[in-house]
Structure 1
Amino acid sequence: MYSSWSFLLKAFLLGNIVLNFISPSNTSDVRFANETDRLALLEFKEMITEDPLGALSSWNYSTHFCQWRGVTCSRRHQRVIALNLESQSLVGIVSPHIGNLSFLRTITLQNNSFHGKIPQEIGRLFRLRSLTLSNNSFQGEITTNLTYCSRLKLLNLIDNKLVGKIPDELSTLSALSDLGLSLNNLTGNIPPSLGNLSSLKQISIATNNLEGSIPEDLGRLTDLEILVVSDNYLTGTIPPTLYNLSNIVIFIVTGNRLHGEIPSDIGLTLPNIKWLFVGENMFTGTIPGSLTNASRLEYVEFALNGLTGPIPNNLGMLPSLSHINFGANKLGTTDENDLNFISSLTNCTRLEMINLGQNLLRGSLPNSLANLSTQIKHLIFQENHIYGSIPSGIGNLINTVYLDMEWNDITGNIPVEIGKLHRLQDLYLNHNRISGQIPSSIGNLTLLNGLDLMGNNLDGPIPLPLGNCQQLLGLSLSHNNLNGSIPNEILYLSSISLYLYLSHNALTGSLPSEVGNLKNLVNLDISKNRLSGSIPDTLGNCLLLENLYMQDNLFEGMIPQSLSALRGLQDLDISHNKLSGKIPGFLGTLPFLTYLNLSFNQLQGEVPENGIFRNESAISVDGNQKLCGGIAELKLPTCIITASRRKSHSLLLKVMTPVVVLVIVLTLLSSIIVRCYLRRPRRNEQSSAPPFPQHLTVSYAELLKATNGFSEDNLIGVGSYGSVYKGILDQNDETLIAVKVLNLDQRGAAKSFVSECEALKNIRHRNLVKILSTCSSIDFQGNEFKALIFEFMPNGSLEKWLHPEANGEQELRKLSFMQRLNIAIDVASALEYLHHHSHATIVHSDLKPGNVLLDEKLTAHLSDFGLANVLSELSSDSAPNGTNSAAIKGSIGYIAPEYGMGGKVSTYGDIYSYGILVLEMFTGRRPTGEMFKDGLSLHDFARMACPQRVMEIMDPLLQVEEDRRSSRIHECLLSVLRIGIACSMESPSDRMRIRDVVTKLHSIKKANDGKLDADDRDRVQAEG
């Protein structure tokens, strides 16, 4: 016994000796491993180029790395096990050194701006269980090295720019339970081998370019809960095995080319389904009645298929039902009771949307419609065979925002109770057989954007309370029996911009002069009424008018000269009136006019032969008995020049000849005097050394000579702090320059000169205006003189192209879609350089069309850095927080909202201005326009039009050119406007990164550059 204890004691002592001997090396190994993690994290930080929220500010030597923000360590070994930097606005690439964090289990980098390839070194993280990289800009193919992460359960790569095929090797990740590859550019087929991932619970590979069929092998994934394969190019039928996955909660296959019938027992085989989306395919057959067995169903969407038959009457047994979308099918029967199922839906207390539009449903609207859930927001019944009246109880649905019953056979009156729908934004009852008067209660709908009652049997006057609807964008009351006058209250609604249709009624009186308040109106139709009086001069204030129809009325007097301001006019019909006088010559100068009807009036005199008058098929002048001349095809009598006209011409010639000679003599004399004055030397003239030693040195005298004494004829622009003149610096080679002369009496001008010099002295980029030199000197009167000399831009500012009339441009020039897109790319590239690639972060602070100049090739150059801030000197933090007085400077309409609240100058401010600039470029509307007041902004205007109405808000000058490619332009315009909207979000952190802007714009251009006609792209450049 004793010997046994003696042996154990000796063994214990020996063990202690061994432990003491090896202990130091173990400690060293742990410290070495910890140092590896710390260095790997620092390498990760090193590859971050932008950290606006200071997420990595704690990553330094003063704190242990386990306490760094976003880093989680194990307690025992102090090794990094999780890296979570979600939504930190980080910009950069993921360092390959991340593969050295060998204990990592979780990587979460979603909602940032990481780009480049996903490092293949991630494949060394054999302990990795979750990899979330969604909503970034990662590129390249999905690395197959991920297959070495054998414990990976979650792989989320949604919304990046990954390309290539889905690696078949992913089938080796037996632990994978969540696979997200949506919103990429993946091609090929869905690998059948994914059916080997028995642990999969979620698959999301939507919005790619996948082809082929859905693999039957996915039916082996018995634990699958979410399957999303929408918006691809998948064909064939849905494998029956998928309908047997009883754990499925979300099943989305919309936007493919799948066909077949929806199984009649789908509600039994998918009892746990919550979201069932199979729309935008080619499914046939009927809606299964077994849906009611799926008691948890919330969203059911079968739209845009070929389904037939009745809608099940038992849908009310689904207590959680929220959205029903059966639109654009062939649903309906012949027994005229197709809407009886609505009564059962009164049990669905969570119901928010019913879309039955574009079907073959017959029957009347049941009174039970009024008993639907008060949560209803969208009721869509358009283009069916619905008859009867609208139930008065519809006023109970107080949360409805969209009500569409157009193109049916509805009769009766518009119920007064409709005025209770205070949240209603769109009301479409057009093309029915509704009678009676428009209820005045409709004026209670102050949030209305669109109201269409066209094509009914409505009578009585237009209700005055409609003037309360101050957010109305479009109003259509045509093809009714309305009488009385056009209320001034309607014409005071400056928000009306899309259309005002009042034609085919019995309206009387004049067209009020208040019509000039509709400065943003695009379409006006008051034809076929009994309107009288003269055409008001104020109609010329509606500068955006494209289509003007006034025919079949009793208008008299002359065609007003003010209509010459409607430079975007395409269609003009003023036929069948009592207009008199001559045809004004300006009609031949309207550049986009393609249809002109002046027939059956009392016009007289000579018909012009310019512009549209050269096209006999585009004009009509019939029924005007006293017209003469014009092109031969009109077959009008020859105009006779009377003796009195010849005498007046001769007298005019005699009077004007000496006047012209006198003007020429005076011009020559003034030129000689100026030249003599310029030759006199001045002893007090000085020229300081310019801050651009590599450029030419220019004196005051040289600038005076180059600009012809800073004459008005050479003036090309006036800004806040000075004027810009065109000049010829070298008379031998006629080098054109632009000279910005600072008005030093203006407060802040001197500081602006310093700011511009500081910003421009070290930056070089093809999309920045090139500065040649500066001049800081004394003029001939002894006053201080400061000027900047730039390369001349022959096509002027973008402002003059977008708004030519407001800038006194005689000739209307227009930019094609591709030219505007190229300009948007140029400006974004300039901002990306200033923000990320110059010697210091530079914020322009005054981005607007007037500061974007165009060279001879219409390449854009960003100019005017008088308000620029170099952030490395202003502040080391470019985040949009804190305060700085400089932040409030800029141009109204383009200033970021946080600046108005004392926010610090930041790159986010430039991005906001850029977003407004993009929206202005493609809508043609200034952010300071009359319509943008009382809470409505250009940002909101564009956002509300997306996606359905983007063509309606397109710049009229652009629409004319692109109308025959409207489907393609719609897609392109929608993509561009979404970028403008994303950049002009109210919160800085919600705005798009400028690098992402450049990338997305290039993608839009690449996708469409070859599809747009070369003639259209080159024509404007030739005109410019």
Structure 2
Amino acid sequence: MNNALQGNIPDELGRLHKLQLLNLGYNSFHGVIPSNLSKCSRLEIIELEYNQLSGVIPVELGSTPKLKLLALDNNNLIGVIPPSFGNLSTLMLFSCMYNNLQRSIPKELGKLPKLAFFQASVNTLTGTIPQEIFNLSLMFYFSVGQNKLHGILPQELGIKLPKLQVLFLPGNHFSGPVPPSLSNASSFEEINLSNNNFSGKIPSELGRLQSLSNFRVTNNQLEASNADDWKFLDSLTNCSKLQVLLLGSSQLGGILPSSVANLSTTLEKLAIASSPLTGTIPSGIQRLVNLNEMRIPYCNLVGEIPDEIGKLASLRRLVLTGNKLTGQIPFSIGNLTLLNELHLFENYLEGPIPASIGELQQLRLLVLYDNRLNGSIPKEVFNLQYLSQQLDLANNLLEGPLPAEVGGLKNLMRLVVYGNMLSGHIPTTLGQCEMMEYFSLGNNLFQGTIPHTISNMKGLKMLDLSRNKLSGAIPPSFGNLTVLELVDLSDNDLSGPILESFGDLKHLFYLNLSYNKLRGEVPVRGVYGNSTEISLFGNKELCGGISELHLPACPTVKAIKKSKKSYLWLKVVIPITVSAALILALFALAYQKRKAKKESLNSLLEEQYPRVTYEELAKATEGFSSDNLIASGKYGSVYKGSLGDSQKMVAVKVFKLQERGASKSFLIECEALRSIRHRNLIKIITSCSSIDREGRDFKALIFEYMPNGSLDQWLHPANNELQQSNHLNLTQRLNIAIDIADALDYLHNSCQPPVVHCDLKPSNVLLDNSMAVHVGDFGLAKFLAEAVSKSLQDSSSSIAIKGTIGYVAPEYGAGGQVSTSGDVYSYGIILLELLTGKRPTNDLFKDGMSLRKFVEAGDTSEQNMEIIDRTILSDVHSDEATNNDIMKINECLVSVLDVGLACSDPSPRNRMNMTDAAAKMLAIRSIYLRA
């Protein structure tokens, strides 16, 4: 029924004793399943799927004598699968996927001689699959993916279940070998074992399965190191109906067999992800004429992209990211006229971008960043009418002008040519790109003025024109970009008065106008009223503004008139005054230096922050009671308390001075916190350096209290009830990710000297009442000289670094130099943890497996978002979500995972910087919210 009926299912149905079929699926019923349905003695079919039913599955249904089909999918059911179902001797189909069912699969189901279809995926089932299940010889469909099941599959599985057609087990903790006996179930169509702990070799016997159409084993511990180990792939060439083949594992090494090109011509989807493979893209690949998706990212493929790839006429998605491919992008790529997405970034490709790309009229996304491409950008690229998602050519060697034809990309949301050698003027035709949200031309050689037509890009949210040779004034019409969120015009040669209309941009959260030649009075409204949201460094002729900007006061009209009358007299006085002032300043500076050496860091803090005593802190925290303990680490414990007459809630970090290094940690954190200010950094109220009641040294820092705790507590709650009631939705996770990125971008690029946090992890990401982020714990922070912050070179004189296992950058463990890219690595890991719900120290990650490799090998298609945290998926697969919604959400998830992978690259040279990461995340959120 599809009439969107709602309300409770009436108990009166239990009085319909002649009822044989009950179909209430695909409605909006809520409440519980009536237990008296079991009184309908003739009932054979119950379909209640896709409703909003809650509560438990009634055990009474186990006494419905003629029940053949029970469908309960996509509800909010809790509790267990009742063991009483073992009495349903006529039951043929039982389906309960997408609920919150717990505990184990009851062994009593093994008594059901007619059970042929069992589906319980996407619940929280635990334990093992009962051995009794494997005695159900009529079983043809068995699906328990996305649970918490474990155990080893019986080696005779294919013999015991000879009629099996679908085996769906992804996203569990199964281990042991893949049973070779699967080949005995000759009717097999789909085998999905992805995201488990299966080990050993992939059986070559699978090639006997003539009906096999879908084989997925990504992200396990499966092994291959030589040609014998890869015989399974040779055998799969016998599967004439194969449509989907997804491989990928940290242990699948050796040379990619040429037999890939001999797979069935029915193959539509081929993925071999994140494996230590070597070799080249096999010749003969053009024989896979129906291939519409080819993904071989983050392997070690070498050589050139063969010209024959242009013969894959059905190809819609090509992903060869993160390999070691060389040579040019083949001109034949232009023959792939159905191509929607082309991902070739992070390789060693060189030469020009082929003009034939202009033939790809279905292309929505073109990503070529981090290669060695040179020459000019072909004008044909800008004739791609459907290029709407992304054009990213950053960090190549492209030169010449940005063609005026760029205005033809009227539907494009994201244009990035950052980090090339493009020159000339910014074309005025950019104003025609009205859908543009993310626009970055930074770090090039553009000159001339900023065209006022950019103000026609009404949807623009992020603008980066920094590090060019632009001059002139900022166009006043920029004030009409009402949704603008981030502007970076720093390091150019812009002049003229500061743009007051930026203050009218209600959505603007960061404005960087540093190192230009702007002059005049700085307004105080809008973004100009918050010093953490604006950067004006290096503009020597600015004045006024809010006091936190520390700019000189602007001269009054009266002072100007007076100065004109006194001009001649001042010609004599000024030199004397300036000389005297200079001498006095030198004396004052020397005095201040001597004074600073004698004063402790804490006394410097006391000049700026209110004093507080040990007794006041003890009273506020009820004697540092364990009931008020929020968190505890190596160097300190954090307590909540109510301070002063106002009873203001605060967080008090008490340092464990008996621990070696704790005192140093206190000083480092004081130094860091007194020199940084940002809305996404923890705000310090004051400090305390005193003695306790036993006469021992006592040091503490007092912060604003964060009522929503840490990100770690939200991602990994102590109990399942909290997880079900207080999980983070996708929008909240995007907001958190952007807040963290903004905080790090500020530390790395707006602080002088730059600051490296060195211990970024979810427990140091705190959340206030509105779920906004405040990054804390600067006890390991490092202040870097400019040269150090921008260098990613290995250093023999390493700086000792401490951090947290799983989040600390790998180069630190090898004695590498501290740099901002270490924080970028930690940020990348947090992004992956945000979406997978898995800590990098999860038990799943051992024997070479890691969170990063888990994500690289995962399947993130909208039908099989295997690696995504199920609490996000519960929102994605709501009753109100259309297929288009799910597709857009999936695109968002994949984009965030791509940023996480790019940031957590093992090589610091290959990681993006924090400014780019922040901008990418902002663009992803904008696209998602628009969708």
Which category describes the TM-score, using the shorter chain as reference length? 0.5 to 0.7
SS at match of 2:212: coil
Q: Which amino acid aligns with 1:344?
A: K
Instruction: For residues 291-329 of structure 1, give each alpha carbon's deviation from its aligned partner in whole angstroms, at most 9, with x where no partner exists.
Output: 334121111001211222221232221222110001111
Q: 1:98 to 1:501 in 2, by over 3 A?
A: same
The equivalent of 2:433 in structure 1 is 469
Instruction: For residues 806-863 of structure 1, give each alpha carbon's deviation from its aligned partner in whole angstroms, at most 9, with x where no partner exists.
Output: xxxxxx97857646898999xx999x99xxxxxxxxxxxxxxxxxxxxxxxxxx9xxx
How far apart are the structure 2 equivalents of 1:309 and 1:192? Answer: 33
The equivalent of 2:20 in structure 1 is 66
Q: 1:560 to 1:984 in 2, by over 3 A?
A: farther
Alignment of 1:49-128 (within 5 A): 52=6, 59=13, 61=15, 64-66=18-20, 68-69=22-23, 79-128=42-91
Judge which range, 84-93 or 975-984, deviates more. Answer: 975-984
Shift in Å, 1:188: 3.3
2:548 to 566, 572, 586: 586
1:189 to 138, 152, 164: 152
Q: 1:406 to 1:112 in 2, by over 3 A?
A: same
SS at match of 2:407: helix
The equivalent of 1:387 in structure 2 is 350
Q: 8 Å contact 1:295–1:318 — kept in the other structure?
A: yes
Shift in Å, 1:106: 2.1
Shift in Å, 1:582: 7.8
The equivalent of 1:283 in structure 2 is 252
Alignment of 1:722-733 (within 5 A): none
Alignment of 1:559-570 (within 5 A): 560-562=523-525, 565=528, 567=530, 569=532
Q: Which amino acid aligns with 2:375?
A: G
2:292 to 298, 317, 322: 322
Unaligned residue ranges in structure 2 (runs of 5+): 26-39, 556-580, 597-645, 649-678, 683-702, 740-764, 778-822, 838-868, 884-931
Q: 1:193 to 1:457 in 2, by over 3 A?
A: same
Larger Rg: 1
The equivalent of 1:26 in structure 2 is none
How far apart are the structure 2 equivalents of 1:285 and 1:233? Answer: 20
How far apart are the structure 1 equivalents of 2:457 and 2:870? Answer: 27
Alignment of 1:244-393 (within 5 A): 244-261=208-225, 262-263=230-231, 265-291=234-260, 292-333=262-303, 337-345=304-312, 348=313, 350-372=314-336, 374-393=337-356
How far apart are the structure 2 equivalents of 1:358 and 1:459? Answer: 28
1:532 to 495, 502, 505: 495
How far apart are the structure 2 equivalents of 1:405 and 1:462? Answer: 21
The equivalent of 1:488 in structure 2 is 452
Alignment of 1:188-207 (within 5 A): 188-192=151-155, 194-195=157-158, 196-207=160-171
Unaligned residue ranges in structure 1 (runs of 5+): 1-49, 72-76, 589-597, 605-623, 640-733, 737-800, 805-811, 834-859, 861-910, 926-950, 992-1024
How far apart are the structure 1 equivalents of 2:306 and 2:95? Answer: 46
Q: Which amino acid aligns with 1:275?
A: V
Q: Which amino acid aligns with 2:163?
A: S
TM-score (structure 1 length as normaliser): 0.54
Instruction: For residues 730-776 of structure 1, give each alpha carbon's deviation from its aligned partner in whole angstroms, at most 9, with x where no partner exists.
Output: xxxx999xxxxxxxxxxxxxxxxxxxxxxxxxxxxxxxxxxxxxxxx
How far apart are the structure 2 equivalents of 1:627 and 1:491? Answer: 49
SS at match of 1:80: coil
* Identity level (%): 26
Q: 8 Å contact 1:312–1:341 — kept in the other structure?
A: no
Judge which range, 272-281 or 191-200, deviates more. Answer: 191-200
SS at match of 2:202: coil
Q: Does 1:958 align with 2:922?
A: no
Shift in Å, 1:142: 0.7
How far apart are the structure 1 equivalents of 2:872 and 2:183? Answer: 43
Q: 8 Å contact 1:53–1:89 — kept in the other structure?
A: no
How far apart are the structure 2 equivalents of 1:222 and 1:919? Answer: 45
Q: Which amino acid aligns with 1:288?
A: P
Q: Which amino acid aligns with 1:409?
A: R
2:422 to 458, 461, 466: 458
Q: 1:55 to 1:530 in 2, by over 3 A?
A: same
Q: Does 1:225 align with 2:189?
A: yes
The equivalent of 2:639 in structure 1 is none
How far apart are the structure 1 equivalents of 2:22 and 2:322? Answer: 58
SS at match of 2:197: coil
Q: 8 Å contact 1:918–1:980 — kept in the other structure?
A: no
Shift in Å, 1:288: 2.7
Q: 8 Å contact 2:407–2:430 — kept in the other structure?
A: yes
SS at match of 1:234: strand
How far apart are the structure 1 equivalents of 2:113 and 2:872? Answer: 43
Aligned residues: 631
Shift in Å, 1:277: 0.2
Q: 1:56 to 1:245 in 2, by over 3 A?
A: farther
Q: Which amino acid aligns with 2:289?
A: P
How far apart are the structure 1 equivalents of 2:196 and 2:541? Answer: 58
Q: Which amino acid aligns with 1:431?
A: N
Q: 1:583 to 1:541 in 2, by over 3 A?
A: closer
The equivalent of 2:472 in structure 1 is 509
The equivalent of 2:398 in structure 1 is 434
SS at match of 2:49: coil
How far apart are the structure 2 equivalents of 1:969 and 1:382? Answer: 22
Q: 1:956 to 1:111 in 2, by over 3 A?
A: closer
Q: Does 1:235 align with 2:204?
A: no
SS at match of 1:192: coil
Instruction: For residues 589-643 of structure 1, give each alpha carbon's deviation from its aligned partner in whole angstroms, at most 9, with x where no partner exists.
Output: xxxxxxxxx9xx9999xxxxxxxxxxxxxxxxxxx9899699989967999xxxx
Shift in Å, 1:70: 5.6
Higher-RCO chain (CA-CA 8 Å, sequence separation at least 6): 2
The equivalent of 1:709 in structure 2 is none
The equivalent of 1:845 in structure 2 is none
Q: Does 1:556 align with 2:519?
A: yes
Q: 1:112 to 1:323 in 2, by over 3 A?
A: same
Q: 8 Å contact 2:176–2:198 — kept in the other structure?
A: yes
How far apart are the structure 1 equivalents of 2:734 and 2:224? Answer: 46
Q: 1:990 to 1:481 in 2, by over 3 A?
A: closer
SS at match of 1:418: helix
Alignment of 1:860-879 (within 5 A): none
Shift in Å, 1:564: 7.2
Shift in Å, 1:203: 0.8
SS at match of 2:472: strand
Q: 1:269 to 1:631 in 2, by over 3 A?
A: farther
- RMSD between aligned residues: 4.9
Shift in Å, 1:283: 1.4
How far apart are the structure 1 equivalents of 2:341 and 2:774? Answer: 31
Q: 1:343 to 1:97 in 2, by over 3 A?
A: same
How far apart are the structure 2 equivalents of 1:366 and 1:530? Answer: 40
The equivalent of 1:417 in structure 2 is 380
Shift in Å, 1:279: 2.4
Alignment of 1:610-1009 (within 5 A): 815=706, 818=709, 957-958=772-773, 960-961=775-776, 966-967=827-828, 969-971=830-832, 973-974=834-835, 988=880
Q: 8 Å contact 1:422–1:445 — kept in the other structure?
A: yes
How far apart are the structure 2 equivalents of 1:544 and 1:467? Answer: 20
Shift in Å, 1:282: 3.0
Q: 8 Å contact 1:602–1:625 — kept in the other structure?
A: no
Q: 1:988 to 1:602 in 2, by over 3 A?
A: closer
Q: 1:435 to 1:112 in 2, by over 3 A?
A: same
The equivalent of 1:130 in structure 2 is 93
Q: Which amino acid aligns with 1:255?
A: N
Shift in Å, 1:244: 4.4
